[in-house]
């Protein structure tokens, strides 16, 4: 990745969306996970949903996954909706769709962790780094930044995010590495 930690100024966040997201967090607690990428098979949003389900099952903590991005593949979007319903995650997974830059900025400001399963998602990762949001990349490629999981194993993603959310030193180190374009690789247990 080139210049993942570029210091361009942050866009102003849409105040209404920011307020709504803050209100939900205040009422229900828990963490907000964000992914900003086209919602299509190559982006692997299904892997993020599996990870959220594992997190909920293993840690019993509330969490919301916001999937922001264009929806060029209606069939994949429909499959995600059915999958979310079948896993009982309606309400926890928000298929937000395409939004303006200001609304996206509100999501970045509210996010506790940025998750992505796509190596092509350089822009979302770059914006997360700028917003000082820890990045967890499920893609496992050598070019990804942040905490990079060598396999998209739901329990591994869940455990990594649980640690990021509760261990301030780990989160800070993950942010620092990502801002330098460096990786923290986490492998699967045997």
Partner 1 sequence: MSATLEPASDSDEDAYLARVLSEIEAEVRAKRASGELPARVERELDELFLEFSPVAGRAGGLHDALRMVDAATFIDPVVPVGSAKSGGAVVKKGLRSLSLWYVGYITHQVSQLATAVSRALHILDEQVTDLRRQLDAQRVPPSLVVEADWANGPDAWWVEEGVRTLAAARGRVLHTAAGDGWLVRRLTAEGVSAYGVDPRPERIERAEFDGTDLRDEDVVAHLRAVESAALDGIILSGVVDGMTAGERLALLDLVVDRLSPGGTLVVHSLSRAGWESDQAPVAADLCGGHPLRLATWSFLLGEQGFDVRAQPGPEGLDYLVVGVLGDTVTASR
DSSP state of 156: H
Which one of residues 53, 107, 108, 114 is an interface residue with partner 1 (CB under 8 A)? Answer: 53
Cβ closest to partner 1, residue 22 vs residue 173: 173
57 near partner 1 (CB under 8 A)? yes
What is the Cα gyration radius of the chain?
15
Compute the least distance from the CB of residue 29 to partner 1, in Å.
16
33 near partner 1 (CB under 8 A)? no
Cβ closest to partner 1, residue 58 vs residue 101: 58
Determine the Cα–Cα distance for residues 144 and 184; give it in Å rounded to an integer: 10
26 near partner 1 (CB under 8 A)? no
Which one of residues 11, 36, 96, 186 is an interface residue with partner 1 (CB under 8 A)? Answer: 186
Determine the Cα–Cα distance for residues 86 and 15; give it in Å rounded to an integer: 33
79 near partner 1 (CB under 8 A)? yes
Compute the least distance from the CB of residue 160 to partner 1, in Å.
6
CA max distance for the chain: 46
H, E, C per residue of 33-96: EEEECCCCHHHCHHHHHHHHHHHHHHHCCCEEEEEECCCCCHHHHHHHHHHHHHCCCECCEEEE
60 near partner 1 (CB under 8 A)? no
Residue whose token pair is 């709504």: 20
Site for partner 1 in 157-176 (CB under 8 A): 159-160, 162-163, 166-170, 172-173
3-state secondary structure (DSSP) of residue 121 = coil
Determine the Cα–Cα distance for residues 110 and 13; give it in Å rounded to an integer: 10
Which one of residues 71, 83, 89, 95 is an interface residue with partner 1 (CB under 8 A)? Answer: 83
Q: What is the contact surface with partner 1 in residues (CB under 8 A)? A: 41, 46, 49-50, 53-54, 57-58, 73, 75-76, 78-80, 82-83, 86-87, 153-156, 159-160, 162-163, 166-170, 172-173, 184-190
């Amino acid at each position: 990745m080139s210049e993942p930690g570029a210091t361009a100024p942050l866009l102003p966040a849409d105040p209404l969306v920011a307020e709504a997201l803050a209100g939900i967090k205040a009422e229900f607690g828990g963490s907000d996970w964000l992914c900003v990428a086209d919602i299509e098979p190559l982006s692997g949003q299904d892997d993020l949903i599996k990870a959220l389900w594992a997190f909920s099952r293993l840690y019993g903590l509330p969490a919301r996954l916001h999937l922001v991005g264009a929806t060029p593949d209606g069939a994949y979007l429909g499959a995600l909706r059915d999958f979310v319903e079948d896993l009982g995650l309606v309400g926890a997974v928000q298929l937000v769709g395409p939004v303006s830059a200001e609304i996206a900025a509100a999501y970045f400001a509210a996010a506790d962790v940025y998750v992505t399963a796509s190596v092509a998602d350089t822009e979302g990762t770059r914006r997360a780094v700028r917003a000082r949001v820890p990045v967890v990349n499920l893609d496992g490629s050598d070019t990804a930044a942040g905490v990079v999981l060598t396999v998209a194993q739901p329990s591994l993603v869940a455990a990594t995010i649980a640690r990021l959310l509760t261990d301030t030193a780990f989160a800070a180190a993950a942010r620092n590495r990502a801002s330098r374009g460096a990786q923290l690789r986490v492998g699967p247990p045997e």
